[in-house]
Amino acid sequence: MSKIGTAGFVNKSLKHNQLTAKKKYGQNFLIDQNILGRIVDVADISKKDAIIEIGPGLGSLTEVLCERAGYVLAYEIDSDLLEPLKENLIGFLNYKIINQDILKANIKQDIEQYLKGYDHVYVVANLPYYITTPIILGLLSQELNIQRYVMMMQLEVADRICGKPQTKDYNALSLMIQYKATANKVLKVPRTVFVPAPNVDSAVVRLDVYDVPPLKAKDDQVLYEVLRNCFIQRRKTLYNNLIVSYDKSFVDQMLKDLHISPSVRAEALDLADFISISDYITQKR
Ligand code: SAM
């Protein structure tokens, strides 16, 4: 069994390289072999698949990914981790570490350069929690050739991403993501399996991106704008949220034409309703 994903190893590796985990980069290293194995099982990877990992850290997840996948392309922002990471991955030849902020990377170009010819490209990552939402929305909105995402994140964010209508977790983020992919929370993870332990519990979410989305808005950007505007204040009615951003008489006419009650709350509407609002606005612009 590998030693990389254990508390002793992480502490030793940091100490040996005179490092401490950096809070500003969301560094909480996974130290549970069982959880590492389960994340990779959920991703359902074969040697014909290529993986993008965000934040390999000291390499505990990267090691398992290199064992199971054809190739691993990993983005790590912290240059101090590169040496220990490479040392820990000695023996593997099927990976490439890019020392870059994932939010600034040209992923389309990197997929083209490093991951051509694989059956699938999946993202598998224990995410830096401080940028979970920009990472996921950024990747999904770029229409990249990525079919699946298996990602560890803060439990509350996982609940929101997988939120269903009429529940407290349902919001603009649930809809933005479920517009592009099916979303399932597959594993709840306690804070005790990280070094250092974060202040929150975690969960693993699997997103399977639609080949052909069941519902399509005329303009994705208008849909995202509508979703944000409709959920500005959850307890307000749809009408009262909409008139903050759009002309009152326009909103009156639109809801009448679309047969949507002005007194309903956004959490009662489904994706098809939001798309009809979004398409109405797109057409009138
Ligand atoms: N994968 C490792 C593990 O499971 O033990 C580390 C996960 S740790 C939660 C998040 C990792 O993301 C850290 O290695 C951190 O340095 C890296 N990171 C933080 N911000 C990043 C960014 N903007 N781009 C790329 N990597 C980033």
pLDDT tens digits along 163-203: 999 999 999 999 999 999 999 999 999 999 999 999 999 99
Mean pLDDT of 199-226: 97
Q: What was the pLDDT predicted at 6?
A: 85
Q: What was the pLDDT predicted at 5?
A: 75
State the distance from the centre of ligand 1 to the C-alpha of 144, rounded, in angstroms. Answer: 21
With a 6 A CB cut-off, is 61 part of the ligand 1 pocket? yes
Q: What was the pLDDT predicted at 1?
A: 55
With a 6 A CB cut-off, is 78 part of the ligand 1 pocket? yes
pLDDT at residue 272 tops 80: yes
pLDDT-above-90 percentage for the chain = 93
Q: CA-to-CA distance for 128 and 242, rounded, in angstroms?
A: 33
Q: How confident is the model at residue 96 (pLDDT cuts 50, 70, 90)?
A: very high
Q: What was the pLDDT predicted at 137?
A: 97
The 3-state secondary structure of 126-171 reads ECCHHHHHHHHHHHHHCCCCCCEEEEEEEHHHHHHHCCCCCCCCCC
Average pLDDT, the chain: 96
**Within 10 A of 218 (CB to CB), how many other CB atoms are there?**
13
Q: What is the pairing mode between strands 120-126 and 148-154?
A: parallel
Q: What was the pLDDT predicted at 143?
A: 87
State the distance from the centre of ligand 1 to the C-alpha of 108, rounded, in angstroms. Answer: 20
- Which of 3, 9, 77, 97 has most ligand 1 atoms within 8 Å of its beta carbon, as the pocket-test mutant? 77
- Which of 27, 103, 157 has most ligand 1 atoms within 8 Å of its beta carbon, as the pocket-test mutant? 27
Q: What was the pLDDT predicted at 36?
A: 96
pLDDT at residue 91 tops 90: yes
